[in-house]
Amino acid sequence: MRGLMMGRFQPFHLGHLDLVKQILKECDEVIILVTSSQFNYLEKDPFTAGERLEMIHNSIKESDVDLTRCIILAIENQFNIATWSAYLKSMLPHFDRVYSGNDYVKMLLADSNIEVIKPVFLDRGQYNATKIRSMIISEENWEEFVPKAVVDFIKKINGKTRLKTIHKSDTKPTEH
């Protein structure tokens, strides 16, 4: 059996890693799907798909999770939401169930015969990528909420400077 977990992973944090472990207790393999892969260098999406894939790969590699049981992929958003489940099925290796606590995801998959499992999340107040990005910008102690591999990677790419620059930029795209 293969489970699917999806997220933007901006950045990949310990809550995400815990979910990988939870899925692998119930499934033989997990597909970790980086969504919104076309977005980057934005306040909500500061890291590229390639950077996020590397963060996830490195985090799993340094953990006690068997990397051979993980398939890590990226996908662009589907703009026709009504065909989203068919899009996932056509773009991904076979999966048997989706792990998501998002009611919107559950609604979109309702007619697709795909089982949606609501996982038990670590403290979502603490393990929250929006909060972690904010902590990086304000130079709070963010490092305890992400795997060491993510800390190392963000430092390697000078991610703190990128986040601060994007945050204070007056040329940020505006939402309509």
* Residue pLDDT, tens place only, 135-161: 999 999 999 999 999 999 999 999 999
Assess if residue 159 is contained within a domain: yes
* Residue pLDDT, tens place only, 32-45: 999 999 999 999 99
Assess if residue 174 is contained within a domain: no
CATH number at residue 76: 3.40.50.620
Confidence band for 174, pLDDT divided at 50, 70 and 90: low
Distance between CA atoms of residues 140 and 41, nearest Å: 21
Residue 37: name the closest of 107, 89, 91 by CA.
91
Q: How many CA atoms lie within 13 A of 65 on its CB side?
A: 29
Task: Please report the pLDDT score of residue 64 as a whole number.
Answer: 94
Q: Does residue 26 register a pLDDT over 80?
A: yes
Confidence band for 113, pLDDT divided at 50, 70 and 90: confident
Confidence band for 111, pLDDT divided at 50, 70 and 90: confident
Confidence band for 169, pLDDT divided at 50, 70 and 90: confident
* Residue pLDDT, tens place only, 49-85: 999 999 999 999 999 999 999 999 999 998 888 888 9
Assess if residue 42 is contained within a domain: yes
Assess if residue 175 is contained within a domain: no
- Number of domains composing the chain: 1
Task: Please report the pLDDT score of residue 88 as a whole number.
Answer: 93
pTM of the entire predicted model: 0.92
Task: Please report the pLDDT score of residue 176 as a whole number.
Answer: 44
Structural domain of residue 112, as residue ranges?
2-168
Question: What is the distance, to the nearest Å, from the Cα of residue 33 to the centroid of all Cα atoms in its chain?
Answer: 7
Assess if residue 176 is contained within a domain: no
Task: Please report the pLDDT score of residue 62 as a whole number.
Answer: 97
Assess if residue 96 is contained within a domain: yes
Task: Please report the pLDDT score of residue 142 as a whole number.
Answer: 96
Segment 15-20 mean pLDDT: 97
User: What is the layout of strands, in order, in the sheet containing 70-74?
Assistant: 70-74, 29-34, 2-7, 97-99, 115-117
Assess if residue 126 is contained within a domain: yes
Assess if residue 135 is contained within a domain: yes
Task: Please report the pLDDT score of residue 175 as a whole number.
Answer: 54
